[in-house]
Amino acid sequence: MRRITYIIPVVVLGFAVLLSSVFVVDERQRALVLQFGQIRQVIEEPGLNFKIPFIQEVVYYDDRILSLDTTPIEVTPSDDRRLVVDAFARFRIMDVVQFRQAVGAGGIRAGEERLEGILNPTIRAVLGADGVTSNTILSSERSRLMDQITAEARLRAAALGLEVLDVRLKQTNLPIQNLEATFARMRAERQREATDERARGEEAAQRVRAQADRTVVELVSDARREAEIIRGEADAQRNGIFANAFGQDQEFFEFYRSMTAYERALMQRNSTMVISPDSEFFEYLGGSGLAVPAPIQ
Q: What is the pLDDT of residue 69?
A: 92
Give the residue among 90, 168, 153 at the shortest CA–CA distance from 119.
153
Dihedral sign for Cα atoms in the order 218, 222, 225, 231: negative
Q: For strand 29-35 and strand 38-43, is the pairing parallel, antiparallel, or unpaired?
A: antiparallel
Cα 171 → chain centroid: 17
Q: Where are the alpha helices (DSSP H) in the chain?
A: 2-21, 96-103, 107-127, 134-137, 142-157, 176-247, 250-265
What CA–CA distance (Å, rounded) separates 51 from 56? 6
Give the residue among 31, 69, 75, 65 at the shortest CA–CA distance from 51.
31
Give the residue among 264, 265, 241 at the shortest CA–CA distance from 253.
241
* Maximum distance among all Cα pairs of the chain, rounded to whole angstroms: 186
Cβ(78)–Cβ(137) below 8 Å: no
Residue-wise pLDDT for 117-153, tens only, equals 999 999 999 998 888 888 888 888 889 999 999 999 9
- 86 class by beta-carbon count within 10 Å (0-12 exposed, 13-18 middle, 19+ buried): middle
Percent of the chain's residues with pLDDT above 90: 26
What CA–CA distance (Å, rounded) separates 136 from 296? 100
Q: What is the pLDDT of residue 67?
A: 93
What are the residue ranges in the chain where pLDDT is below 50? 287-297
Residue-wise pLDDT for 178-198, tens only, equals 667 667 778 888 888 898 999
What CA–CA distance (Å, rounded) separates 97 from 29? 14
Residue 206, CA atoms < 13 Å, CB-side half-sphere: 6
